[in-house]
Structures are given as structure tokens and as C-alpha cells.
Structure 1
Amino acid sequence: MSASSLPQHCPTPVELDDLELLLSGALAPLTGFNEPGSAVTLALPEGLKDLDAVELVDPEGLPLAIASQGAVTPLSHAQFGPFRSLYLTPAQVRQEYAGRTFVPVTDALTVGQLEKLADLGPLVLLALAGTGTPTLSSVGLIRATIAAAAHLPDAAVVVVPLAAHGDPEADHDLGVQVVGNYAQGDPVTGLTAVAADDLQAGYPEDIAEIVDFDRPGPGRQGLVLFFTGLSGSGKSTLARALMDKVLEQGERTITSLDGDVVRRNLSAGLTFSRSDRETNIRRIGWVAAEIARHGGVAICSPIAPFDETRQQVREMVEQAGGEFFLVHVATPLEECERRDRKGLYAKARRGEIPEFTGISSPYEEPEDPAVRVDTTGRSIESALQDVLDALARFGFLDLVSNPLTGNFPTTRTGDAR
């Protein structure tokens, strides 16, 4: 069977990093996914799990490898991405840098750390910049490592896409394995924890600028404000009121991703089946994450009834370097029905509207909201203040509340169920 006739699958960012290391030999003796006891795994979706072979592609559809029972056969290699020329295989590193001292780097280097490295001779700074790097973003870590190399007498930078798998012990073992495959007997110097005097001395000015850009404070960091609740709960009303506050402040760019507006544009053609509703929320999450990636604020107000999908959105946002702030508008079902003069709930109870959230389809209440608000019997201003207080407490937005008149509307039409 030719590769072009195989079903295709795009792995997760962590799996793509693992694939690159597998194909480069950096994970030797591992040669494939899902080997016993290994954290390097590939999760195929239903329908592909039992196939003999699957073609693995990057997010743009470039074929990278064939996976067959966990084993991988290379087809191509990653060709794009920031600093791609620094992503060398162990064999390439041996050819160019054999005999040097290898230094694994997972964070920006301080003045004190640079002073300790200066006398070690020619160095290779291995920037371990895979998905889930613990402090800086992958690109931020590479930039900071390049800047650090300029402070050392003879240092080269090599980027290694070593991803985090959520198991500190397994990730440590993988790190030792990968670094060993690059060094192959040459000295390896691990950086000690940053001491108090290092913290006081801080970073060189050029590295400090990179860190500040990559780790903006809460007031400058990308932020996704995600309102979830039943139809008629007041979430869209609260979201609009909050958007007005942010615009009045005039310090942040903001985008509204209201459930109904998204349905008419980004998700036109989707039904209200569970599968399509989850697709709709993931689309909202992807757009919101991209807004957060570039330092903006996104306000989303879909029903988002399923916890798994909300967690997927949270992960998208956090991987983009943004903060995810979940607001559960916990207005009870009875109150939501009372407000609905269009009779959508009544139609749902008569079976005229299938899979209506709260009636014939479940709403899974979030267990991890940043704030929970019940709008029953409250003015918009009063309920919004709960959200404003929580935002200020977390340090995300500090908005002065101006009086708003009116209560929550007694009708909510067109709410995506």
C-alpha cells in the first residue's frame, strides 16, 4: 500500500515533538511509539486504532512518517518554524560539535549562571524547547538561549524538541536519555538551581528583555474569559457588560465570540448534535487561543455544556501562552425557563427541539470555575461585580465598576443549545 493511499492523522503537539526525536535518533534505543514502559505514546482516534498503518502528517498536511504498530518509517521532516536551522540531529551535532561540553537549558540563564559557564571552554547549549516547556515559551527559550550564547566565549545553540508528558519522573529520564544521545560521551554540565544571589543579580539586559516580552504580567498577558451556563442564564448579558467595561478602560484589545454570532459565521452549517456542538466550542476555543497568543482579550459566551470540551479549550489557551478564566453562570434551570418567553424550553419538554441542553441533553456543571455567579433576582451590575472582583483578585483585569441600569432580560432568543 502506498503512503498516499493510507488514512492520515495529525498527532498532538507533544506527539509531533516525540516523532521528530524518534526519527532523528535522539530517543534511541526507542524506535517507535507505545513501547512498554515508555512515556512516548501515540493515541489514534477511533477508526484508526486497529489499522495496520497510518500516515502521520503535520498540521498543514505534510506527510512526516508512517506509523505501523507503533514503529515509525520516515517520509519527510519538519521544514518550518522559528529557528528551524538550529534543530539538529545527534548525528549532525557529532559532526559539528564533538568534543564540546553540553549544557541542557530549560530557562533563561542568569548573570550568575553565565559566569559559571564562562570557564568551561567550548559549549553546546541544548535548548530543550519542546511542547510544555515549564517557564518560557519554546520560542522565548530559544531566543533567550541564543542571547546567552553571545555572552559566552565559544558557544553554539542546538534546539531539541523535548516535550513534557505530565510525568516529572518519566520526563527526567527521557531528558537524560536525549541529552546523552547528543553528547555521546562528551561532558554534560547541568545547571544548578538559581541561587538567591543569582536572582538578585538577575538577567543580562538583553535576556531580561526577552523574558519580559515572553512572560508579560497578568495585566498584559493574553486572556480568555469563558462564560458557560444554561440558555437564558444571563451569560451573554454578563459577557456584553464586561466587554463594555474593558472597552471603557481603553487599555486592552478585546474580541467577542458570542455563541450565536459564531454559529452564524464561523460554524454555519453545523447542527445541534453533540458532535457538532463540541466542534463549535473547539472552533471558538481555537480562535480565542490565537487571540490570547497575541496578547488580546477574548470574551466567549457559548453554553459549552460538556466538561471535556471546556478542558480542551483551556488546554488550547494555555498552550498558546494565555490565561483561561472560566465563569460559570449558575442560574438554576427553573429561572432560565421562567425568563424564556419564546417558549424554547417548553418546546424542548414537548420533544419539539431535540438535544436541548438542560432538558434532553445534559449540562455538566464545571468543577473548576474561577467564579460562579447566579443571576436570579439580581441586577446586571450586581452580578457583574462578582466577575470584576474575581478578575481583580486573580490580577487579570482591574476594572472600576460604573453603575449599570436594568436587570437581566426576561427573554433570551436564539441561544445555541
Structure 2
Amino acid sequence: MSERSERVVSDEALRGAPSWTPNPTELSDLELLLSGAYAPLGGFLGRDDLRSVAATARLGDGRPWPLPVKLEVPAGMLDGIDVADRPPLLLTDPEGAPVARLDVTEVWPAREGWVGVAGPVTRTGDGGRAPFARLRVPTERVHGLITAPRVLGFFADRPLHRPQLAQLNHAARQLNAQLLVLVPVGAPGPDGLTAEALVRCVLAARDRMHDPIIVAVPLVDRGNEITDALVRAKVAAAYGVTHLLGTPGAMTGAGPRVLIPRELVYDSRDGQWRDRDEVPERFERIALTDEEIAGLLDDGLPLPEWHTPPAVARELTRSRPPRRQRGLVLFFTGFSGSGKSTVARGVADALLETGERSLTVLDGDVVRRELSAGLGFSKADRDLNIRRIGWVAAEVARHGGLAVACPIAPYASARATVRRMAVAAGADFVLVYVATPLEVCEQRDRKGLYARARAGQLTGMTGIDDPYEVPTDAELVLDTSAGTIEDAVGEVLAYLADEGWINPR
């Protein structure tokens, strides 16, 4: 028996228990539950609490709570169990390592093929490992590090430059408070930074703050600004924060007092950051915008020392190299016969000739043969094929390579998944929509697929009996019926050069 297997069955109650790997959002909620950051919750909510939260933003007992903390598993997994016995369900990480046990107290139909599950969770096994585990600490441990009656909390969801550091230190001095910096690591950071790179950038600024406590929390954005602010306030309160900086409107009822950071400007006379009314206009410099910082990094230019501490600048430069050195996923989509593979191959050939980029081509037909053999053309199989392409492309780009992919990719959700994979890998993503009209693609019909589909000999043909969702987020749109392939290749290369990913032709 393997070492991992021994750990799984070391708890007799878990021997033979069903196991399930939650989705990324559920895993984030699970870690927050286990760490105490979701206090007073101790597990996934039941049906009545979920209904109450959805209707009133309160739990069934009336306590405020901003979001549904729910878990769903496939229907049939828990058939035959008696919730009166509180049977255990083993929750694992994506690698199958055990993370927690859930003592099931309620099961109900959630959506087709799925059931909701409620119950308290307790940590078990050694799953859920992640970089910077030393910073992913339970709330009780943080409480033991707090030595001041006031705790100033701040969510560092982007690197800390001198303006933010000055605001933090100014507020901490005014309050005579201990500083607690919470770094969200449940999703990629801003401007193409990975979550790990964001943590490194924050740690690089540690010596610019007065004795801070730095904690990594697996928060994910829910897509609702108010909900996200309320969740952050709840998590901050659980860690002992009494004053929260920079999230107005984030708290209702008891909890951290919200402070709005004061606007500070750089005083070029002595290099200090002060209130705007204390600095004559001719001596002031305002903070760089995120776009200006990203532009300097994209072009490989240094960040000015008056704005960014050298240690932070070094980490940012390492984590976000210039575009000519940064990984890129160049993703072509369009109908069969649109010319996307021919254009992609022409772009790849041109780049191989210059040798300026490490290159991998993921052609749709080749991937179907080598990576996705056995998959059909149902929506589920198409999505899985695109996910496989996206995963490989993101791994190529993670290490600074340029991945060129050219599947049909008819569904917007699958293309969005590939974009997210690339961003999560710290790479860039460019979507090229080859918008050659369907009638032109049918006329070409090099593989005879359209003729077979029209004759009823082939089903699931994109554009005939299966839909193609036209991209609304493409960085570049081409039509190979309006010019030559060489023109289209040149347009792509010109775009890549103009945006800085390759050298000008």
C-alpha cells in the first residue's frame, strides 16, 4: 500500500467513504473554512441557509453572511446513505490527496445530475499543499501574533509601490495599529502576474513596512463588487482586523471600521510622500497608473526608483519580463477551411526562420490525432479537446515559449477557458478570429467534410448542424477571402511586432 493510501485510510471512519474533488471555487471556500477565515461558519451551508443568504444576505438564524458557501457532487455518489448517521465524505485536491472530511448532514437535488451537500468540515491528510504554505495560516495563529489593540488590515491584490506603502505606513502611524497584509492567492494577480509572483512582490516590500504580518488567503473574485467587498471584510474580521483600509462600503454591522486611504503625492524636494496640499505643484509627482507600470514592463524599461522600491522592481521585472521574452498563446479560431491553419503555419514558419522565439504549433488535426485520440465531436468532447490544447499551450507559455494553436474552437466558453489558463500561467493571450465566410469555406472544402455534412453522411459539422459562436473578444480579425494568405500572415506578424512580442519585420 502506498504512503498516500495509508494516510487516507488511517481514519477508520474514512475507510470506504466516497471521495470527491471540489471545483476551484469550492476548494477555495474549503480552505477558508478550514483556516477559520469564514467564521462563524464551520462547514458547507445547507439548503435553508443557502436560500436565506440568496434572499436576505443572512443565514437562517439572522446573522449577516454575504455569499453562498456551497458544495455540489454528482447525483448517485451518496445514494443509500443515511444523513442521520452523519456519514463522512472525503474531499481531495486535484491530485487526489485528501484535504478534509465532511460529515454529511443534508443532501438535496441541486441541478440536473448534481446534489447539494451540507455539513461541517475538518482537516485530514496532507492534501491542499501550495506555494507559500507558511503564509497560509489559520486565524488562531495570526491572533497569537497580534500584539496591539488595533490592527490595520489591507488586501494587497497588486504589488506595493511607494505610494501604497506610504499610505499604509501613514494610516498605521495615525492609528498606532499593527499592520496585517492579506494577499489574495485564489486567482492570478493583476497584469499577468501569477498568484505566486504577487506574493513575492509583496514580500519584496516587507522591509518598507513596520513589522507587518503577511497572510496568504485563497480568495477568488465572485464577479460582484459588493459581494467581494463584503467577503473581504468578513475574512479580515476573522483574522482580527479592527480597521480595514481602502474598501469603502465593505462592511455592514459589526466588523472592521473602513478607512479610505489618503491621497499622497511624491515631494521631489526630499523624496517623501505627503498630502497633496503640503507639496507645491511644481515639486509634486503623482503615482504612476497601472497602465503606465505595465507599459514600462512590457517594453523592458526600468521602473523609476522614486515610485517603486528596487526590490519590488526586480521582482516585477523577473515575474513580468518584456513581451519579447514573455510567454504567449497565439490562438486561431474559425470554420474548417477558413485558412486558420495555413495562416498559423505561415506565422510559425516566419518565426522559425528568425529564431527569435521558442515555438510550439498545436494544429487542430494533429492534436486530434496525438493528444485527443478517441474524442468525438459532441460539445463535451469539443470542450475537452480545447481544454487539452489550452493546458499544453499554457505550459509552453509558462516557460517563455510561444504556443500557436489553430483548432476550430467553436464555443466562446472554451476559448475563455484557454485565455484564463494562459493568464494563470503568467503568459499573454492573443485571439485571432479567421472570419472567412462559411460559403467560401464550403467552396474550398479541401477535406470534403462540408459535402459529407450536406449529404447527411456527417453530423456535428460546425456551421452546418453545429453552431459557431463568433468571438467578441478577438484581438485580431482576418478574412482570407479578402486577400492572400501572405497578406494575412503579414497582418499577424505586424500585430505581434507592434504590440512588442516579436521584433519588427
What TM-score bracket applies, with the shorter chain setting the length?
0.7 to 0.9
Using the size of structure 1 for normalisation, the TM-score is: 0.84
Query: After the TM superposition, which residues 7-406 of structure 1 pair with which residues of structure 2 at under 5 Å, given as runs?
Result: 7-12=19-24, 14-33=25-44, 35=50, 36=53, 37=57, 38-42=66-70, 44=72, 47=75, 55-66=90-101, 68=104, 69-76=117-124, 78-99=127-148, 101-104=151-154, 105-114=156-165, 117=169, 123-134=179-190, 136-152=193-209, 154-183=211-240, 185=242, 192=261, 195-197=264-266, 199=287, 201-376=306-481, 378-392=483-497, 394-397=499-502, 399-400=504-505
1:312–1:184 Cα change, 3 Å:
closer
Looking at secondary structure, tell me which structure has more strand per residue: 2
CA offset digits 1:389-413 (Å, max 9, x no partner): 443454444542xxxxxxxxxxxxx
Q: SS in structure 2 opposite 1:183?
A: coil
**2: CA distance between counterparts of 1:223 and 1:96?**
42
Question: How far did 1:342 drift?
Answer: 4.3
CA offset digits 1:106-151 (Å, max 9, x no partner): 3322235445628557644333333244454321222122222234
Higher RCO structure (Cα 8 Å, ≥6 apart):
1
Q: SS in structure 1 opposite 2:205?
A: helix
1:59–1:341 Cα change, 3 Å:
closer
CA offset digits 1:154-183 (Å, max 9, x no partner): 334322222222212211111111111112
The answer on whether the counterparts of 1:235 and 1:301 sit within 8 Å (CA) in structure 2 is yes
Question: How far did 1:210 drift?
Answer: 0.9
Question: How far did 1:335 drift?
Answer: 1.8
**Paired position in structure 1 for 2:114:** none
Decide which moves more: 317-326 or 275-284.
Answer: 317-326
1:362–1:188 Cα change, 3 Å:
closer
1:196–1:249 Cα change, 3 Å:
farther
The answer on whether the counterparts of 1:125 and 1:149 sit within 8 Å (CA) in structure 2 is no
CA offset digits 1:325-350 (Å, max 9, x no partner): 11111222222222224423212222
Decide which moves more: 339-348 or 115-124.
Answer: 115-124
**2: CA distance between counterparts of 1:238 and 1:43?**
45
1:204–1:133 Cα change, 3 Å:
same
1:394–1:30 Cα change, 3 Å:
farther
Q: SS in structure 2 opposite 1:162?
A: coil
Decide which moves more: 110-119 or 279-288.
Answer: 110-119
Q: SS in structure 1 opposite 2:239?
A: helix
Could you tell me which runs of 5 or more consecutive residues in structure 2 were left unpaired when the two chains were aligned: 1-12, 58-65, 105-116, 247-259, 267-272, 274-286, 289-305
> What letter matches 1:62 in structure 2?
A
Decide which moves more: 332-341 or 298-307.
Answer: 332-341
CA offset digits 1:319-374 (Å, max 9, x no partner): 22322211111222222222224423212222222322222322222222222211
**1: CA distance between counterparts of 2:489 and 2:75?**
45
Decide which moves more: 126-135 or 87-96.
Answer: 126-135
Q: SS in structure 2 opposite 1:225?
A: strand
Could you tell me which runs of 5 or more consecutive residues in structure 1 were left unpaired when the two chains were aligned: 401-417
**2: CA distance between counterparts of 1:312 and 1:21?**
25
Q: Give identity over the alignment, percent.
A: 41
**Paired position in structure 1 for 2:269:** none
**1: CA distance between counterparts of 2:418 and 2:76?**
24
Decide which moves more: 123-132 or 141-150.
Answer: 123-132
Q: SS in structure 1 opposite 2:201?
A: helix
**Paired position in structure 2 for 1:404:** none
Pairs aligned (count): 398
**2: CA distance between counterparts of 1:49 and 1:194?**
55
> What letter matches 1:26 in structure 2?
A
Decide which moves more: 370-379 or 235-244.
Answer: 370-379
**2: CA distance between counterparts of 1:193 and 1:363?**
50
1:360–1:181 Cα change, 3 Å:
same
Question: How far did 1:45 drift?
Answer: 6.5
